Structure 1
């Protein structure tokens, strides 16, 4: 029986970051992972592989639509799907091996196997039981099925995001159930590769919770790219054969029923905490009504010495949110006083154009009765965006009407996922829109659109 200061269950972004931070702070640390590779869902079957395919498929789009405009004459691109998947797998391997290297560098022990917690202070992995002063549950999440619908996922014809990354061939027709981040990212991958993609969304618009103006513009742009949308529709059944599937849905406005046939159905209706096999019931760990692990403000569960972070607790299921919590709980165990600012956690959709947001939406500010002002700037006024055929979209900055303090930002456009971070830093320091407006931005860059939106909160943008 080995004894540790900290054992972390799960090696996803929250788990591996927390483990490395614990080790850096002088704590004897182990991380339990049952997969053959480290990195959890994110690195193995989520964030990283999907971004590889998004990048590859975007290059196809550029070759088909923009190369000739720039005087680059090449034959029409041919897709070698096996090689594209091999490229994706290589990217996964580089990243997961990188985490393994970091574990060795920081002297974090990898306990290979699936964990359970037989009692406080002990973690069982396979036939071995290890002692730990502190146990951190970072076991992540798994795909959720369609609420109230009859559906059987086989990861061949009816797939989750995991199966969608390993299809044997590019389908002719795909139905995506769920108009959220995962469905739209993977749907856009296959649409660029020639698949006819239809998205069925229960709500009246895509990306529920997103700033409404951004969401509407996003849907228009994706529609121009060839994706078809059926909104306000509740999926009733997904029936699959060996090679086809039929999706039956009911329109919420009038209860009319219709169906779609496809080669592949991607079920992307969200995720749920993965806690199976941990023994939390027997241990007496308190859970929320939504199946999450209940924690206090310091990630402690009701069981002494047991903590939880990431997708298994409340909050957005985002890798970077889990990473922040992993660092915070490590520092707290080491006697420090960390803080995670949940009001400044960005969200990004990695389509083209990208969509990124941080802070409050207009709808939230209206509901809260906050007096605010809006600064908007279209990428049509950005020289770099026009030169790169990336002028779709806009920046929207929200600031307090009285104090000018930045309350939120929403971007749809090129490199939005990178641009949003200057607003994140500004909000972290309590900056005003004028602070951003008076900061020199290099020309020509996409980032100038951020400055112009900040200027629009005052006397007006220059290039609008």
Structure 2
């Protein structure tokens, strides 16, 4: 059995693993990456972020074609099946894999495809590689194994009508009706996607409103537009049983309701991929959700072992995972540019999409902060009227005494892009982080960025009118 020595071993090639590997190798360390799947990229590339967002984009284009009167000169509205739409996502995945494979090759990072298991804190056995079993040794290890959908044992996920957020990508037809259990970010995104394909969706939410971590006004807007696309949202419900046969799926809720559909999609919770790593050999224990506890430098309880990305829990976003991986590598290499990732914008790719950063109205009210609101509705902006994407708004929350920006909430087309303008300003100090920046800055016209100036003026008008 071959033995290889490295400075850093990274388990997992998703965003966190890639961030850790690239930061380490750029600092002159010899790095190995272990990936359980056949290709690099992790679940982000193959099962999560990339395929779902590519799917969403295709469905968005279909909706625009079918609802824009200009296209009636070309032809009548068209129906597109899920497999056809998925085909484009597969092309994006292939491009992402090629890009990331080149990253590792160009930077001389050795990639081992197989299952990793600790022998001790400095030794990892890689099983199932092309050469059989191989042994890697290093002073430092970064665990970046990601997560997978939590699948309760009382639901038969082997049945061809029952899916989770990973296996839904193997759906070979377009169901007429679907039940989605779990109205978190993933559930709401897939509800948007399937509703856009004309599927009648029942979205089951265990809470009393969608995505309760969002600003209430934004959450209400999402609910309205999902319902406007014929999604039936059922709040405060829990399943009692899910039974499938050749005729369909029946979900029985604890409230006594029974819902019949052609397909069932489970989107309720995720589990860290820590089983099989042999953590007991290095004195680590994952929590009930398979996640590892780390400190504010991404160090686990075992010296020299770090963890980053979904396997450590919050915020479970690809954007944050990449930065967490880089940060973990920065700490183990004693780099001065280390930072703890705690300010992360929310990006939710529903139709329309949502992005936010900072405090919500509910949080500011509870903290007794004297805040005010500035709003810009997209329907009033020239760029949105030109593009035909008039749904949504930009909402700025600011301190009415100092004008400091406290929260940014955006709902509508390209919200995940628009929020970053405000993010850059929020990170400034002094008067640079106030509404005055947007008042005193000239924006290109017409642009969506102009919404910041409109919202800022709206906010100042609220103060002057009181």
TM > 0.5 between the two? Answer: yes
Structure 2 contact 331–338 (Cα < 8 Å) conserved = no
1:173 is aligned to 177
- Partner of 1:261, secondary structure, is strand
- How does 1:312-331 map onto structure 2 within 5 Å? 312-331=311-330
- Partner of 1:457, secondary structure, is helix
- Partner of 1:14, secondary structure, is helix
Give the whole-Å Cα distance in 2 for the aligned partners of 1:122 and 1:211.
47
2:199 is aligned to 195
Aligned length: 453
* 1:7 and 2:9 matched: yes
- Partner of 1:240, secondary structure, is strand
From 238, 241, 246, the equivalent of 1:237 is 241
Task: Give 1:281 deviation, angstroms.
Answer: 2.4
Structure 1 contact 434–455 (Cα < 8 Å) conserved = no
1:124 is aligned to 125
Do the aligned partners of residues 77 and 340 (structure 1) sit closer, same or farther apart at CA in structure 2, a change above 3 Å counting?
A: farther
Q: TM-score, normalised by structure 1?
A: 0.93
**After alignment, is 436-445 or 208-217 more displaced?**
436-445
Give the whole-Å Cα distance in 2 for the aligned partners of 1:290 and 1:176.
21
2:158 is aligned to 154
1:345 is aligned to 344
Q: Deviations over 1:15-70 (max 9, x none)?
A: 1122112111111111110101111111001111111111111111111111x246
Q: Deviations over 1:197-234 (max 9, x none)?
A: 11010111112211111001111011112211111111
1:222 is aligned to 226
Give the whole-Å Cα distance in 2 for the aligned partners of 1:201 and 1:81.
24
Structure 1 contact 273–311 (Cα < 8 Å) conserved = yes
Give structure 1 stretches of 5+ with no counterpart. Answer: 251-255
Structure 1 contact 426–436 (Cα < 8 Å) conserved = no
Give the whole-Å Cα distance in 2 for the aligned partners of 1:359 and 1:453.
16
1:50 is aligned to 52
Task: Give 1:429 deviation, angstroms.
Answer: 2.1
2:108 is aligned to 107
- Partner of 1:77, secondary structure, is coil
Give the whole-Å Cα distance in 2 for the aligned partners of 1:115 and 1:71.
55
1:253 is aligned to none
1:446 is aligned to 448
From 57, 65, 68, the equivalent of 2:67 is 65
Do the aligned partners of residues 70 and 262 (structure 1) sit closer, same or farther apart at CA in structure 2, a change above 3 Å counting?
A: closer
1:362 is aligned to 361
**After alignment, is 337-346 or 264-273 more displaced?**
337-346
- Partner of 2:97, secondary structure, is helix
**After alignment, is 356-365 or 260-269 more displaced?**
356-365
- Partner of 2:406, secondary structure, is strand
**After alignment, is 49-58 or 393-402 more displaced?**
393-402
Structure 2 contact 31–109 (Cα < 8 Å) conserved = yes
Give structure 2 stretches of 5+ with no counterpart. Answer: 128-132
Do the aligned partners of residues 338 and 152 (structure 1) sit closer, same or farther apart at CA in structure 2, a change above 3 Å counting?
A: farther
Q: TM-score, normalised by structure 2?
A: 0.92
Give the whole-Å Cα distance in 2 for the aligned partners of 1:155 and 1:347.
34
